[in-house]
Structure 1
């Protein structure tokens, strides 16, 4: 009898953890016309997420630009050293720099000093004149 009362409670507690996550979803971030060639621009956007029972819409950021062939790519602003937020051209020209411990990255996100790995990138797709960002993946450009 006690088992009959406990099983529904366990199912209630575990159910949100067993739900399949909608992976690979993309979020509209910016008009394609606002993305510059050769000059990264930081764009902020919100994602809708469900963490077990907690629902939130946290703000995210990405450094987005077009390369010399016109292909759009977006880098995560999270430093691979200790997770601080990097900036573009803050202390060194044409480099991303982390203010916490001085990590430096190229425009493609290649790690130059301190950080053990390149910046991650977002999956990108362009549809109907808008840039959409998906999951963060390891950098494929360097």
Structure 2
């Protein structure tokens, strides 16, 4: 009986020791998981937050006083503030702004539709936009004449309180 009694005592001690180890294992594992989740949630939010933010509607940029516009296209530079995910920048853009024959103001993008070079107005004394890279030509309204496959893009434009505001670039609406 003494042998048998020792064996029972050893079994009950062994059962209790495993139970303690399981308890410690679960407790430490749970605490570790809680701390890992606490550290990773801010990182996940940091990574996903820019994706979830709503895109702002087209922003209007104040460019020039309306009384400075003429029928002859003029080059105007302006800066936009943009946030792309975590990258914030203020790039300088350019627009060619003029009035048409009816006096309505419009703005064209200076980016050539052939290979993306920057066009200039009347550089060959022909009253056309000309690309210095590959010789693309455009009319005052941005219609492509040679080389380029499409007309120059146009900026949304509005005049408010005697100032010209430009919005996003869109496909040219002035030519067909």
TM-score bracket for the superposition, by shorter chain length: over 0.9
* 1:138 paired to 2:162: no
SS at match of 1:68: coil
Instruction: Give the superposition deviation at 1:7.
Output: 4.1
What's the counterpart of residue 91 of structure 1? 124
* 1:120 paired to 2:159: no
Q: How does 1:50-65 map to 2 (within 5 A)?
A: 50-65=83-98
Instruction: Give the superposition deviation at 1:18.
Output: 2.3
Q: How does 1:1-142 map to 2 (within 5 A)?
A: 1=33, 4=37, 5-37=39-71, 39-142=72-175
- In structure 2, the gaps of 5 or more residues are 1-32
- Give the strand-richer structure, 1 or 2: 1
CA RMSD of aligned residues (A): 1.4
After superposition, the C-alpha distances for 1:58-88 in whole angstroms (9 at most, x for unaligned) are: 1110000011111000000000111110000
- In structure 1, the gaps of 5 or more residues are none
- Residues paired across the two proteins, number: 141
**Which stretch shifts more, 19-28 or 117-126?**
19-28
SS at match of 1:112: strand
4+ residue runs over 6 A deviation? none
Give the TM-score normalised by structure 2.
0.76
Larger radius of gyration: 2
Give the TM-score normalised by structure 1.
0.93
Q: Using CA pairs below 8 Å that are at least 6 residues apart, which structure has the higher relative contact order?
A: 1
